[in-house]
Structure 1
Amino acid sequence: MATWKPDPSFYPSPRLAAKAPPETLAYVAMFDPGRQQPDGIAVVDVDPGSATYAQIVGQVTMTHAGDELHHFGWNACSSCLCPNAPHPHMARRYLVVPGLRSSRIYILDTGPDPRQPAICRVIEPEELAERTGYSRPHTVHCGPGGIYVTALGNAEGKGPGGIAMLDAQSFDPLGQWEVERGPQHFAYDGWWHLGYDTLVTSEWGTPDMIEDGLVADILLGARYGRKLHFWDFTGRRHLQEIDFGPDYQLVFELRPAHDPTRAYGFVNCVLCLKDLSSSIWTWYRDGDKWAVKKIIDIPAEPADPDQLPPMLKGFGAVPPLVTDIDLSMDDRFLYVSCWGTGDLLQYDVSDPFAPKLTGKVRIGGIVSRAGHPGAPGRSLNGGPQMVEVSRDGRRVYFTNSLYGAVDPQFYPEGLDGWMVKLDAAPDGGIAFDPRFFLDWPKSHRPHQVRLQGGDCSSDSYCFP
């Protein structure tokens, strides 16, 4: 008797996912900041035994210019094995790739040739707006019930932003996820605790507040997003809002514990208006409510104003600008990207309220311009930005561009793109792989990295 088998890249638990075979390809979003040429997804060889290691070995080019590819995700992941919404015969085959500026969503098929994905569907912005009431799609997660796409704006490009749902097989936009939105207005990231039937969302701003970069009046007026929202996942209703306070701006990346029995997660705050520091916070269950606690403060570094871009001259300091974080599959190590200073930090967060710094590298940075062993003699700009961790926790990849309109505010000379890889020791400690420095083609800049077969920010699990 023939039996259907789940996709071998689906795992019931993070513990089993961590035993998965190493990835051999990475998919990287790249965009033209001048919006003259179409953006694309580059396929990077990450197999150390390959003759083309650390090189772009494939590419798919989008149908239009000006999309600004940003964050993207898989059509299906390990959540397909969850008992509350099982669909185990799905396959991790399609990449769902939104254009943050255009509101166009591309569906790429990696099945026939993983090195040469093919566009098999394009959801035009008009269809997304008409069917869901949203625009500016930002983050993609596969989960129970379909594909969840957080969106920064409503159909008109104002607020509120929220979550649009796509059908997991046809990719048709289904509609707005929220049944009762409550006070939520700004959107950014969204993820969940499947074991606690809770969805969490964070905040940036509406499209008119971000599309031309960070607006000084809005930032200094403390009018960007600074809240977390907690939702009844099944009921699709807003339950609770936590305000970080007016000193804290840009509450961004959500990294819940992978173990579904652990009701906590981590979020970064990009900027404190008092001292330009960045911070990491833990959210957790406190009785019958959710609460947050700041666990890490990363201070700004004093600097000569002559070395600073116009936006920072008056402050005489380089802010760390923590713009991305990632959590290893065993929930032990948190990786923190400091795009301003150029640091990539590794913390042991085995105790989520008492982190310990266990590793640090520096590359690029607004002032430091630190180099890389694979690019001898070069001073580099940009800094650690989108970070992705392999399922076994031994490899960390990152790129150096934040967002087309924000890059020149902090790197006005023009940002030269690169992608690098770190090797992570089992008990802490990180070091550059000297063989892996990918000098990005000058026409485009690299952004998010996704690993073939899944990674530490792609899947959610229902079993511990």
Structure 2
Amino acid sequence: MTVRPDRTFHATAKLAMQAPVENFAYTLMLSPDFSQPDGLAIVDVNPKSKDYGKVVHSVIMPNKGDEFHHFGWNACSSALSPLNGHPFLERRFLIIPGIRSSRIYVIDTKGGPTKAKIHKVIEPEEVFAKTGYSRPHTIHCGPEGIYVSTLGGGGPDGTDGPPGIFVMDCETFDVIGRYEIDRGPQDKQYDFWWNLPRDYMVSSEWALPPQFEKGIVPEDLLSNKYGHRVHFWDLRERRNVQTIDLGANHQMALEVRPAHDPVKEYGFLGVVVDTTSLEGSIWTWWREDGKFHCEKTATIPPEAAAKDDLPPLLRGFEAVPPLVTDIDLSLDDRFLYVACWGTGEMRQYDVTDPMKPKLAGSVHIGGITRKTKHPGGGDYRGGPQMVEISRDGKRVYWTNSLYSTWDDQFYPDGVPAAMVKASVGENGGIILDKDFYVKFPEGYRSHQIRLEGGDCSTDSFCYPSV
């Protein structure tokens, strides 16, 4: 605890944009065959450094088989909430869950990114006993605790009851208990985020563990059995107040990205695939007169491909779906970045009008059939996946692995870890940095990125931008 608010906490998104730029990025590394422990890589992202684009420190875990996926901070700008915040917390600890093991690691970054080390390990038995949930996934720092979404319920296969969200103490890291008081029809879980002053939360759906742990189940996908709903919650009362079904053909409603300025009551949602057309899509949700609405506002078509160029899973379609697997929104709420993992494209949309996204920029790298190399010569395999934006909106980073078994299905030639960066034009447009191509230790894949001091998918802001 500090005697004044952490300098990386900001009352508004606009103030966060004016903060010092990041010098380091934290990137998760996973061992897809579980032959070595997963790890956290610290990457130098300072263009003036001799180690630019290199892993300068790593924290390797003591266990194998965790499968790191998403992670987040113990505290962020939400601690400045005027209602029940903890303003004297530090943005010091990274909370990293193992999606397969249900184990959670707490990493201490005191002394700077290159001094990061393990602080505490929360064993899966504590998660099971106190929540009945398994497969912890997304981390968000709230004003009074750490919120953790899960992909599994109880039992060996995670189907004994629905998955949900649980809360951890942001100082002791004890697991406290389930978030939900009344979950309504919610029976699957993926992402979640909120508008703190407006007191609501939005959550999305992916699948139950048997539908993703061994890879995508084609029969379930074609019969529309993956998640296709979005849920809206009264945050303080912890109850589901409205559920919107996007249509069963809109399979896998994943990342939720609310506007950063809490005055704005809208946000975005990415949907992986439409089973009737193979399109990916972006949806805009908003609240009006106390009721939530959700509308498809952008679509991304598949690309035709020769059967012999496709993995077995896609040969019957003779096309590559874009596979929208991640989206991220700049802090000024202007640009939405959309990762098309299948076609190997990172798209930038101008969402100044959230109901009419306009394509403003695009780069190709990787892709199932394109296999576009990095401009610096790197053999980038996989496609753009987890994306993170700098606070000032001038740099966009991303990695290439989705989930170990899905990587193997869509990219059977392998997805060795990679991380790239693009520069953003003043009026839009993105260009890959040919000098930034991170090489990770052999045998790893790379997933989510967090930036030193916060980023665009970490912090929740409690005050309007001026």
CA distance in 2, matches of 1:255, 1:426: 22
Tell me whether 1:339 sits opposite 2:338 in the alignment: no
The DSSP-based 3-state class of the residue aligned with 1:64 is coil
Matched ranges for 1:255-334 at <5 A: 255-334=257-336
What whole-Å deviation, never above 9, does each CA across 1:41-72 have from its counterpart, x for those lacking one? 00000011100000000000111001000000
The DSSP-based 3-state class of the residue aligned with 1:63 is coil
Contact 1:102 1:136 in 2 (8 A): yes
1:379 deviation in Å?
4.8
Match of residue 168 from structure 1 = 170
1:439 deviation in Å?
2.7
The DSSP-based 3-state class of the residue aligned with 2:38 is strand
CA distance in 1, matches of 2:61, 2:339: 28
What whole-Å deviation, never above 9, does each CA across 1:298-348 have from its counterpart, x for those lacking one? 000111011000000000000000100000000000000000000000010
The DSSP-based 3-state class of the residue aligned with 2:29 is strand
Tell me whether 1:88 sits opposite 2:90 in the alignment: no
Matched ranges for 1:95-134 at <5 A: 95-134=94-133
Match of residue 18 from structure 1 = 17
CA distance in 2, matches of 1:148, 1:164: 6
Match of residue 57 from structure 2 = 58
1:269 deviation in Å?
0.4
TM-score, L = length of structure 2 = 0.97
1:442 deviation in Å?
2.7
CA distance in 1, matches of 2:34, 2:331: 36
TM-score, L = length of structure 1 = 0.98
Tell me whether 1:154 sits opposite 2:153 in the alignment: yes
Match of residue 138 from structure 2 = 139
Identity %: 54
Contact 1:59 1:116 in 2 (8 A): no
CA distance in 2, matches of 1:155, 1:130: 10
The DSSP-based 3-state class of the residue aligned with 1:67 is coil
CA distance in 2, matches of 1:76, 1:243: 33
Match of residue 251 from structure 1 = 253
Contact 2:80 2:143 in 1 (8 A): no
Counterpart amino acid of residue 79 in structure 2:
C
Match of residue 404 from structure 1 = 404
What whole-Å deviation, never above 9, does each CA across 1:341-368 have from its counterpart, x for those lacking one? 0000001000000111111000000000
Tell me whether 1:78 sits opposite 2:80 in the alignment: no
Counterpart amino acid of residue 253 in structure 2:
V
1:431 deviation in Å?
0.2
1:287 deviation in Å?
2.5
CA distance in 2, matches of 1:219, 1:358: 31
Contact 1:309 1:411 in 2 (8 A): yes
Contact 1:344 1:362 in 2 (8 A): yes
Contact 2:55 2:439 in 1 (8 A): no
Counterpart amino acid of residue 66 in structure 2:
D
1:211 deviation in Å?
0.6
The DSSP-based 3-state class of the residue aligned with 2:413 is coil
Counterpart amino acid of residue 260 in structure 1:
P
Match of residue 204 from structure 1 = 206
What whole-Å deviation, never above 9, does each CA across 1:375-417 have from its counterpart, x for those lacking one? 2xx5532010000000000000000000001001110111222
1:226 to 209, 220, 228: 228
The DSSP-based 3-state class of the residue aligned with 1:311 is helix
Structure 2, unaligned runs of 5 or more: none
Contact 2:385 2:399 in 1 (8 A): yes
Contact 2:71 2:94 in 1 (8 A): yes
CA distance in 2, matches of 1:27, 1:130: 30
Match of residue 456 from structure 1 = 456
1:285 deviation in Å?
1.1
The DSSP-based 3-state class of the residue aligned with 2:408 is helix
Contact 1:227 1:241 in 2 (8 A): yes
Contact 1:60 1:116 in 2 (8 A): no
Match of residue 438 from structure 1 = 438
1:181 deviation in Å?
1.1
Counterpart amino acid of residue 56 in structure 1:
V
The DSSP-based 3-state class of the residue aligned with 2:61 is strand
CA distance in 2, matches of 1:216, 1:305: 17
1:195 deviation in Å?
2.4
The DSSP-based 3-state class of the residue aligned with 1:406 is helix
Aligned residues, how many?
460
